[in-house]
């Protein structure tokens, strides 16, 4: 935490109201770094989970919540056990980090909604752990395994937005606001992007867990490409001068291209060439795990873009404009 | 434009819902199949006697027509406890003869019932492979599963009509004793610790079955006279049936050929 004098110095030139707001929620570097650590750890956890599925190792440890009957003993990490047990260990640490972050947030954070979000993260990570257990106990039913995969990325998005909201830029910047009068509004497009990406995530997860064919995921990829390109082009063509909007929009477009290439590679290695493989081969494991990881980054980037658009480019309803102009830092 | 957005969201949502509904329908169908099989698996009463003096024999060779695919190589490097031949057994062809075909009397036995043998059928895990690769067993008969490897395996059958289970078996552990209550052909069994380990158990309600050896040969003995449908089932090449009539003490040769294009 910064000393009050330093805060006051930095806030020179601000109105009294802004200074009060600024002091009310000072940037806490340790708290933010911990939130970033949780988001990064969650990304690692996603990769570990994807490795379990790609190596068909989901049931190599047949029991849960124990591993081969033990709560603490680490089994010999060979074969599928290596992927499954390491995934469980990373998940346990993620749960612990989430709990610490929630307690820390409740102690230092003044924003009530952020404290609730940190609590929601704890609820999500518990639900995720239970889903992971159920998928083992019920022998990987597609519905539960797919829900486990979808909730994993939901949790990742929560961790990313907590890191965003605790960041220095979010707390200290005076948002530059431009009202969006076009229809559909950019904010609507970002919400649509999140929606189609989430549908895509669910379709991909059901396919990966043998709940349906590959084609709905591939067909929806066309819809996703269209919506995300539309959103990114709108953001970059009209609001490229707002850095907080430009950066996630650029990233979203780049990740979309990478994701399409990885999806094509995953399709070739797993569906076209690998259907008669005796075991999961390295190219199919690498391409599918990378496809899952980049998919998670893409979803999180779309969420960040939506939040930044909501803050910087709010929808201009006629009745809102006069009031919003009076308090441009409300977001 | 707003309408376009709403329309796209609605279409996407409906698309997802319809797919989920389709998945549920599939699950429901599977559940009803289970129920039907359970009803069929009801106790059948005393076995129908067969006069050994009239028993017939059906034997033959199963051939593979065409160029056999090269066996896929297995990479066992992820577990130092796994040592042995590293070729997959999905399609095993030697000199045009096809191994691992399950041959059984599919139809023609009417309402006859048969005693379940007291002897257990052995399934061994050795060299991180299942021996045998294809197994036949009567419904309710014990399958004794052994682990002769210096590493832990998990045995995980993924049936459609029987109960699914998944148990680990460390090195030198006591054999597992299992049985399957309902008839099911090509029931897959796998080890999730060693993903190349796959085999198939065939559960039938009569004792008239065999698995072709490396020379493609099989033999079914003790068959009462009658008209039968003999089914030949392969894990990759599917099922082919043949009608056969056997008289008392008959010895019939019934050969079958699978074509390479069937894969």
- What is the value of ipTM here, to two decimals? 0.79
Confidence band for B180, pLDDT divided at 50, 70 and 90: very high
pLDDT for residue B34 is more than 50: no
Determine whether the interchain pair B13/A199 forms a contact, defined as Cβ–Cβ distance below 8 Å: yes
Q: Are B58 and B244 in contact (CB under 8 A)?
A: yes
pLDDT for residue B47 is more than 80: no
pLDDT, position A275: 80
Instruction: Decide if A326 touches B, using CB distance below 8 A.
Output: no
Q: Are B176 and B169 in contact (CB under 8 A)?
A: yes
Out of B4, B90, B193, the one facing A60 most closely (by C-beta) is: B193
pLDDT tens digits, residue range B48-101? 777 888 899 999 999 999 998 888 889 999 999 998 888 888 899 999 999 999
* Spatial CA neighbour of A230 closest among A133, A150, A302: A302
The number of CA neighbours under 13 Å toward the Cβ of A323 is 8
pLDDT, position A9: 42
pLDDT, position A316: 77
pLDDT for residue B238 is more than 90: yes
Instruction: Decide if B67 touches A, using CB distance below 8 A.
Output: no
Q: Are B209 and B104 in contact (CB under 8 A)?
A: yes
Confidence band for B43, pLDDT divided at 50, 70 and 90: very low
What is the CATH code for B50-79+86-109+210-263? 2.60.40.1120
Identify all chain B residues contacting A57, using CB atoms and an 8 Å cutoff: 192-193, 195
pLDDT tens digits, residue range A101-118? 999 999 999 999 999 999
pLDDT tens digits, residue range B12-31? 545 544 444 444 334 333 33
* Spatial CA neighbour of A99 closest among A65, A144, A64, A129: A129
Q: Which secondary structure element, helix H or strand E, spans residue A39, and what is its range?
A: helix A29-54
Out of A55, A143, A277, the one facing B72 most closely (by C-beta) is: A277
Residue ranges of A 205-224 with Cβ closer than 8 A to chain B: 206, 211-212, 216, 220, 223
pLDDT, position B253: 96
How do the domains of chain B map onto residue ranges? 50-79+86-109+210-263, 115-205
Q: How many CB pairs under 8 A join A and B?
A: 105
| pLDDT (average), residues A69-81 | 94
pLDDT for residue A23 is more than 80: no
Q: Which residues pair with A315 in a beta bridge?
A: A180
CA distance, residue A156 to nearest chain B CA (Å)? 22
CATH fold label, B115-205:
Immunoglobulin-like (2.60.40)
Q: Are B190 and B198 in contact (CB under 8 A)?
A: yes
pLDDT for residue A69 is more than 70: yes
Confidence band for A276, pLDDT divided at 50, 70 and 90: confident
Alpha helices by DSSP H, listed for chain B, are: 2-40
């Amino acid at each position: 935490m910064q000393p009050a004098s330093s805060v006051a110095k930095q806030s020179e030139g601000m109105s009294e109201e802004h200074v009060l707001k600024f002091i009310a929620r000072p940037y806490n570097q340790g708290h933010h770094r911990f939130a970033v650590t949780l988001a990064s750890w969650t990304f690692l956890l996603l990769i570990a989970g994807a490795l379990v599925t790609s190596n068909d190792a989901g049931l190599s440890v047949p029991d849960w919540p124990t591993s081969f009957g033990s709560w603490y003993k680490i089994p010999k990490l060979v074969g599928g056990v290596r992927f499954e047990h390491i995934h469980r260990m990373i998940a346990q640490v993620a749960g612990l980090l989430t709990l610490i972050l929630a307690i820390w947030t409740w102690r230092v954070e003044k924003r009530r909604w952020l404290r609730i979000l940190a609590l929601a993260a704890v609820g999500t990570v518990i639900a995720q752990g239970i889903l992971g257990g159920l998928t083992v106990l019920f022998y990987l039913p597609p519905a539960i395994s797919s829900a486990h995969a979808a909730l994993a990325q939901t949790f990742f998005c929560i961790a990313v937005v907590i890191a965003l909201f605790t960041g220095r830029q979010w707390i200290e910047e005076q948002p530059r606001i431009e009202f969006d009068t076009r229809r559909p509004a950019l904010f609507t497009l970002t919400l649509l992007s999140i929606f189609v990406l989430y549908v895509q995530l669910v379709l991909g997860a059901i396919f990966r867990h043998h709940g349906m064919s590959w084609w709905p995921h591939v067909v929806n990829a066309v819809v996703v490409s269209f919506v995300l390109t539309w959103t990114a082009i709108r953001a970059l063509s009209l609001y490229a001068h707002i850095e907080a909007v430009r950066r996630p929009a650029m990233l979203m477009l780049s990740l979309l291209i990478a994701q399409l290439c990885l999806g094509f590679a995953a399709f070739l290695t797993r569906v076209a060439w690998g259907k008669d493989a005796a075991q999961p081969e390295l190219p199919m494991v690498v391409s599918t795990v990378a496809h899952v990881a980049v998919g998670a980054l893409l979803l999180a980037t779309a969420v960040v873009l939506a939040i930044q658009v909501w803050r910087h480019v709010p929808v201009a309803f006629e009745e809102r404009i006069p009031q919003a102009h009076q308090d441009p830092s409300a977001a | 434009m707003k309408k376009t957005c709403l329309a796209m969201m609605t279409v996407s949502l409906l698309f997802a819902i319809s797919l989920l509904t389709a998945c549920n329908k599939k699950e429901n169908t599977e559940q009803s199949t289970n129920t039907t099989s359970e009803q069929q698996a009801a106790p059948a009463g005393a076995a129908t006697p067969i006069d050994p003096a009239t028993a017939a024999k059906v034997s033959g060779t199963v051939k593979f027509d065409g160029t056999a695919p090269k066996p896929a190589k297995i990479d066992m490097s992820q577990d130092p406890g796994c040592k042995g031949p590293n070729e997959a057994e999905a399609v095993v062809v030697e000199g045009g003869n096809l191994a691992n075909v399950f041959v059984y009397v599919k139809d023609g036995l009417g309402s006859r019932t048969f005693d379940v043998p007291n002897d257990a059928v052995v399934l061994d895990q050795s060299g991180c492979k299942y021996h045998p690769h294809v197994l036949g067993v009567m419904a309710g008969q014990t399958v004794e599963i052994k682990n002769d490897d210096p590493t832990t395996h998990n045995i995980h059958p993924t049936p459609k009509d029987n109960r699914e289970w998944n148990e680990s078996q460390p090195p030198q552990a006591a054999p597992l004793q299992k049985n399957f209550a309902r008839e099911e052909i090509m029931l897959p069994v796998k080890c999730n610790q060693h993903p190349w380990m796959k085999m198939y158990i065939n559960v039938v309600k009569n004792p008239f079955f065999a698995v072709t050896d490396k020379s493609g040969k099989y033999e079914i003995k003790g068959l009462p006279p009658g008209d039968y449908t003999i089914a030949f089932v392969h894990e990759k090449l599917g099922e082919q049936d043949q009608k056969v009539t056997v008289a008392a003490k008959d010895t019939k040769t019934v050969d079958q050929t699978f074509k390479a294009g069937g894969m």
